[in-house]
Amino acid sequence: MLVLSRQRDETIMIGDDIEITVVDIRGDKVRLGINAPSRIAVHRKEVYEAIRLENEQAARIGRADLGPVSQAIRPGPQRTRQSAASRLAARPVLSAEEARRQRPPLDPKQTA
């Protein structure tokens, strides 16, 4: 463990991203200010331990422990929705000649 002495308003850097500043000293209490990127979780140790314990307990819960809740959230048959682009891609590409052959003949009464 590295032990450093700092006075009020002095800072300690951890790497390039974490800055710890002594904000206040009153009796046997020290207030620290911590600047860290949002991707880094910063907790008091007792809070960190409580979160860790809760996560471990949640990871051990099995389907049988959930009782009727597990019945309510049972996955049903999976339905997939095909996008318009994939539907078009699945169609065969026709040449102009093939498209003309597949088109129904024009009704002369409708063209007049």
Task: Examine the pLDDT at 88 and tell me if it is beyond 70.
Answer: no
Nearest-angstrom CA–CA distance, 67 and 69:
5
Residue 90 belongs to a domain: no
Rounded to two decimals, what is the model's pTM?
A: 0.51
pLDDT (tens digit per residue) in 58-78: 888 776 666 666 666 666 666
Q: Which amino acid is at 81?
A: R
**Could you tell me the residue range of the domain that residue 17 belongs to?**
11-62
How many independent structural domains does the chain possess?
A: 1
pLDDT (tens digit per residue) in 32-49: 999 999 999 999 999 999
> Could you tell me which residues come within 8 angstroms of residue 12 by beta carbon, excluding any fewer than 6 positions away?
4, 6, 19, 20, 21
Q: Fill in the DSSP letter of residue 33.
A: E
Nearest-angstrom CA–CA distance, 30 and 23:
8
